[in-house]
Amino acid sequence: MKSFDKKNLLLYAVTDRRWLGEETLCEQVEKAIKGGVSFIQLREKGMERSEFLKEALEIKALCGEYKVPFVINDDVEIALEADADGVHVGQGDMPLEKARKILGEDKIIGVSARTVEQALEAERNGADYIGAGSVFSTGSKSDAVKISYDTLKDICSFVNIPVIAIGGVNADNVRELSGSGICGIAAISAVFGRGDTQKAAAELKQITEETVYGVKR
């Protein structure tokens, strides 16, 4: 598997074009990275395939410039064609074992989990990190099932791979995850939906560092 520093997972941003305004997605992603985002997941639903691939190649190049890991949500074929750093799959997406067979051992594969059992299974099957949640209510995924703080903490305790908290995490609630054992958070609107993407990322990174490391850095 591709080696990557789990510190890259501190502030993991998932793209969403709802807040683009007059900017391109690439421009927004660059602002997010400049603000402190350390991992990018490209998430597109319903985009024409050639456009998706073009966008993936553009953002892959940008992330390469900044040495930020870049994965595709769900679409293993686009990840392969774009030579992304990897893919993130949910419980209802392509099985991890199949994704690994297609992408190879040197790519990052993250898996969503909402139970300890799902997280352990993902680890056994070769996942590189777990996205645990949804830890809060979220407007970006209508079918998301909330998990408790205790479940999040148990997932972090039982697996030996990095765990990030996903689902509805923002600057106002991230401190509630202190002591859970996560190594970072995934954010969508908390980065891209705040108007000033770079400033939002910088503020969220600072609070997340305090939450994860327990000290102001």
User: Does the annotation list 31 as a binding residue?
Assistant: no
d(CA 191, CA 205): 10
Q: Per the annotation, does 110 bind a ligand?
A: no
DSSP 174: G
Tokens 């992603």 locate to 29
Report whether 42 belongs to an annotated binding site: yes
Q: Is 137 annotated as a binding residue?
A: no
103 annotated ligand binder: no
Distance CA 60, CA 38 (A): 13
Does the annotation list 138 as a binding residue?
Answer: yes
DSSP 13-44: EE--GGG-TTS-HHHHHHHHHHHT--EEEE--
93 is in an annotated binding site: yes
Which H or E run contains 133? strand 129-133
Residue 112, annotated as binding a ligand: yes
**Burial state string for 153-170 with b = 16 or more CB within 10 A and e = fewer than 16:** bbbbeebebbbbbbbbbb
Q: Is 205 annotated as a binding residue?
A: no
Catalytic residue numbers read: 43, 112, 141
Residue set of the binding site: 41-45, 73-74, 93, 112, 138-141, 168, 188-189
Annotated binding site for Mg(2+), which residues?
A: 74, 93
